[in-house]
Amino acid sequence: MAQKQKRIELQPWQDPKAKPYIHLEGVSKEFRGTLAVDDVTLSIFQGEFFSLLGPSGCGKTTILRMLAGLEMPTTGKIYIDGVDVTHRPAYDRPVNMMFQSYALFPHMTVEQNVAFGLKQERIPKLEIQERVKQALKLVQMDKLGTRQPHQLSGGQRQRVALARSLVKRPKLLLLDEPLAALDKRLREQTQFELVSIQEEVGITFILVTHDQEEAMTMSSRLGIMDHGRMRQIGTPNEIYEYPHSEYVADFIGSINKFEGRVVEDETDHILVESEEAGCELYVSHSADVPVGSQVKVAIRPEKIMIAMTPPEQKRNATKGIVKDIGYLGDVSIYHVELKSGKIVLATQPNIVRLAERPVTWDDQVYLFWRAENSIVLTA
């Protein structure tokens, strides 16, 4: 996964005294009896690139539209830069949005599209011209200013839409699935461009997407949503390595889960007895669960090591038969069946060529991993 880490030296969300720039306080939205957004509280700091991630219908777009002022929350408050904007109309907010359909005005040229927002502010003509030029330059569309939207490709339209929403220098820019309409290659390239443009202009971005790779690549932090609720907020690394719940663990990447019974819960470790895994699972963090209760221990496929000979460790080590090998080029995914019938996924980088690979179908292999790489899922 291409990972462009945002260079935020300060991590304001870890500073209890830091003042959030965007703040949602217990926001809910009801549409004809169903809760689209359910009591969401969220703080976003200045200069962040925050992503809302979740399956379609999870309420992420509704949050975006409430920030834009296109929907009004049923309950709760929204603050932008310390000002309560909960009931302000869309045209009176320091917020701009880039729509999924781009929503370029078809009867205007590229330049007229970008100038539209500035004209509403009654800015002098000369300044409008200058700022439109700058904005188009930023997205490398300055040569096509006199074209009409229907004369542009998908990628070019996307750039114009970005320029149009940036030109007013909003305090907050909202992006609704901005890359969904582009093909894969263009999408990856545009991800990096979006991040560098964001760093250049220094505007706080909130992005909505259902594409986990996109969210992981671009965001300083992300929020995982499900059925209108915020399930977990954290940096891409935190979300991937320390998911709080099964839902989040499943949503980002693939993960192996073993059911088991807690036999020891100390401040520095938990010991779980698991018949499914065929071994004792030792996790080097506490989870505050009573001894004897059922939990799930999760481990990412790339954290599992494969060997033909038994490892020294007795805990976090099991064995099985290779049932299937998925060859992806850079890595291979091994589907290993344990004695309990459980299929475990383990990925290994293909350091050696396919023909020389030692592990093959129907081999008995040993699987083991380090205690700090597994997680106890409590929800």
Partner 1 sequence: MLTKLSPTLKTFMTLGYGFLYLPILTLIIFSFNSSRQVTVWQGFSTKWYRSLLQDEVLIKSAWVSLQVATFSASAAVVFGTLAAVVLVRLGRFKGRSFFGILTTAPLVMPEVITGLALLLLFVGLEQIIGWPKGRGILTITIAHITLCMTYVTILVRGRLSDMDRSLEEAALDLGARPLKVFMAITLPLISPALISGWLLAFALSLDDLVIASFVAGPGSSTLPMVIFSSIRFGISPQINALATIIITGVAIGVMVAGWLIHRKKY
Q: Which residues contact 91 (CB under 8 A, 6 or more apart)?
A: 69, 120
CB 36 within 8 A of CB 228: yes
Q: Please, what is the minimum distance in Å from the beta carbon of residue 112 to partner 1?
A: 10
Q: Is 105 in the site for partner 1 (CB under 8 A)?
A: yes
Q: Is 242 in the site for partner 1 (CB under 8 A)?
A: no
Sign of CA dihedral 372, 373, 376, 379: positive
Given candidates 79, 116, 247, 366, which one binds partner 1 under the rule CB under 8 A?
116
Given candidates 26, 89, 154, 326, which one binds partner 1 under the rule CB under 8 A?
89
Residue 254, token pair as written in the block: 């693939």
Given candidates 28, 46, 100, 134, which one binds partner 1 under the rule CB under 8 A?
100
Judged by CB under 8 A, the chain residues 33 through 72 that form the site for partner 1 are: 68-70
List the one residue out of 185, 64, 150 whose CA is nearest residue 193. Answer: 185
Q: Which residues contact 102 (CB under 8 A, 6 or more apart)?
A: 157, 158, 160, 161, 181
Given candidates 18, 28, 38, 99, which one binds partner 1 under the rule CB under 8 A?
99
Point out which span in 93-101, 211-219, 244-252, 287-295 binds partner 1 (CB under 8 A).
Answer: 93-101
List the one residue out of 72, 68, 52 whose CA is nearest residue 60. Answer: 52
Sign of CA dihedral 222, 227, 228, 230: negative
Judged by CB under 8 A, the chain residues 271 through 300 that form the site for partner 1 are: none
Q: Is 148 in the site for partner 1 (CB under 8 A)?
A: yes
Of 133 and 315, which CB lies nearer to partner 1 in the complex structure?
A: 133
Pairing state of beta strands 172-176 and 204-209? parallel
Which residues of this protein are in contact with partner 1, per CB under 8 A?
68-70, 89-92, 95-97, 99-101, 103, 105-107, 116-117, 120-121, 148-150, 164-165, 168
